[in-house]
Amino acid sequence: MFGGHWVSDAHSGRIRAASASRRSRGRCDSHAFHEPSTLIQLAGACAQDPRLIRGPATTGETILRLLVSAGRERLSILITGACGVAPRAIARSLVLSERFRDARLVGADRGGNWYGFYEGLYERVYRVLEPRDPGYADLIGEICRRESIDVAIVGPEAEILYWSEHEFPAPALLPSPRFVRIAISKRNLYDALQDTGLIPRYSIVGRDDLLARRGLELDGEAIWLRDYAEASSSGSGSIKVADLEQAYAWAYLNPAIANYMAAEHLPGRNVACCLLFYEDELLKAGCYERLEYFMGRLAVSGITGNISRGCVTDDPEAREVSERAIRTIASESDEPAHGLFTVDLRAAGDGSLKITEINVRHVANTSAVAAGGANLAEAQVLATLGRRDEIGDVVVPVGEGNAILRDIDGPPLWIADYHDPAIGDYVDRAST
């Protein structure tokens, strides 16, 4: 059943009309607002707890949705990009949270990783369009209304960029459009930080120059060649080269990459630092170190984007370098630091940490960091709801000797009546 007025088939459903007499357990029906006593009771609840009316309450419909939220026992949280490894880690983090483990988790995903639709992490997963498609925003808005979404965590960078420029139909904590456009382009990021000492030495070289065996100043040291297209990840187009012949061969094998970033090779430890900011205030931070990658031996760069082994670490230098970079970019735009960021760092030959990229989103190990004490997803929901006083310490101590161990991310699933959901369809947890 869907919002008391919509139903699904046994295994999946499309948003479609049904009898208004049916009611969803634990959900207030909007028709109840015809009764003045009900409206007065819910308005009184909001008056007693102002946190219930924070967010983009700019329309009567939004206020009505928040009043309905006040009458429900369970919070409804939407996670977009729901079937990706990072959003699924967000869901696992919320399950770890004492405050939100009983929340209704609703997913929205463009499809492709069908495992996530049937895994059972979410009460319901909708298949949606991509941000560039007509109808995307309307469909997300419809889901938020019908599911009475209280708060959202936007997962993929493409959706974060879109919604940073538009008003999300539910409360969501997002960085500014300018910050996102800088961070998702490694070229823009490095240019913004070039005078800070926070990044490795770098230059830009064209494929034609590499094919002509020119354009690199090696000076007897290895360099890191990488694709710097927007949102590129998982070591895409990356390789360590020690001479012009190796650079020529790599350019020849990758005709789709027109230009490369040639950066100082960083041979040391590989750290990620996750930080949550709200209006220039750092609310929560957590770090982990990457030690081994899945199938790293099969990638020329040795980096496949997902680790099989790591550890949660208390790393003051990583936090300081990461925070400084975030604040530098924000200040250049005359904006406060605001949003959830994951900063990747590598150690140079002298041991100092340098930033290699900044993601404006959670990453796959956010749930491991949460298990280690720094639950960034929980903190993000609390901040979005105006409950920052409940977040606790910015840094949570973590003991040495811990380990992050990952296998392929879930047990095999057998689905008796399987089909790919169409746009607008959803898969219920009951069908998994």
Residues in the chain: 432
Q: Are 287 and 319 in contact (CB under 8 A)?
A: yes
Instruction: Sort 298 into a burial class: Cβ within 10 Å, 0-12 / 13-18 / 19+.
Output: exposed
d(CA 224, CA 258): 16
| Mean pLDDT of all residues in 34-39 | 41
Tell me, yes or no, whether 110 and 253 share the same domain: no
> Predicted confidence band at 297 (pLDDT cuts at 50, 70, 90)?
low
Tell me, yes or no, whether 98 and 165 share the same domain: yes
User: Given 264, 295, 314, which residue is the final one in a domain?
Assistant: 264
Tell me, yes or no, whether 216 and 310 share the same domain: no
- Give CA separation, 55 vs 28, 130, 139, 151, 230, in Å: 20, 25, 20, 9, 30
Does a structural domain hold residue 235? yes
> Predicted confidence band at 32 (pLDDT cuts at 50, 70, 90)?
very low
Residue the block writes with tokens 């800070």: 196
The answer to which of 60-74, 178-192, 323-337 has the lowest mean pLDDT is: 60-74
User: Given 264, 279, 295, which residue is the final one in a domain?
Assistant: 264
Tell me, yes or no, whether 251 and 358 share the same domain: no
pLDDT digits (tens, 9 = 90+) for 220-257: 788 999 888 775 554 567 888 999 999 999 999 999 99
CATH number of the CATH domain containing 301: 3.30.470.20
Does a structural domain hold residue 130? yes
CA 332 distance to own-chain centroid: 24
Does a structural domain hold residue 76? yes
Does a structural domain hold residue 196? no
Does a structural domain hold residue 368? yes
Give the ranges where 198-348 is alpha helix by DSSP (H). Answer: 207-211, 244-253, 316-332
Structural domain boundaries enclosing 422: 12-27+72-172+413-431
Structure token pair of residue 219: 């000076």
Compute how many other C-beta atoms are within 10 angstroms of the C-beta atom of residue 431. 19
Tell me, yes or no, whether 92 and 145 share the same domain: yes
> Predicted confidence band at 8 (pLDDT cuts at 50, 70, 90)?
very low
33 has a pLDDT exceeding 80: no
Tell me, yes or no, whether 304 and 255 share the same domain: no
Is residue 124 helix, strand or coil? strand
382 has a pLDDT exceeding 90: yes
Tell me, yes or no, whether 393 and 335 share the same domain: yes
Query: CA angle, corner 216, sides to 225 and 292, nearest 5?
Result: 25
pLDDT digits (tens, 9 = 90+) for 99-147: 999 999 999 999 999 999 999 999 999 999 999 999 999 999 999 999 9
What is the value of pTM for the model shown? 0.81
Tell me, yes or no, whether 391 and 245 share the same domain: no
Tell me, yes or no, whether 211 and 275 share the same domain: no
The total number of structural domains in the chain stands at 3
pLDDT digits (tens, 9 = 90+) for 201-211: 999 999 999 99
Does a structural domain hold residue 136? yes
Does a structural domain hold residue 305? yes
User: Given 248, 264, 280, which residue is the final one in a domain?
Assistant: 264
Mean pLDDT, the chain, integer: 84
| Mean pLDDT of all residues in 267-291 | 97
Tell me, yes or no, whether 310 and 285 share the same domain: yes
> Predicted confidence band at 19 (pLDDT cuts at 50, 70, 90)?
very low
Tell me, yes or no, whether 258 and 288 share the same domain: no
Does a structural domain hold residue 57? no
d(CA 228, CA 415): 40
- Give CA separation, 385 vs 112, 144, 168, 229, in Å: 31, 16, 14, 34
Tell me, yes or no, whether 152 and 100 share the same domain: yes
pLDDT the model gives residue 304: 66
CATH number of the CATH domain containing 419: 3.40.50.20
pLDDT the model gives residue 212: 95
d(CA 410, CA 111): 18
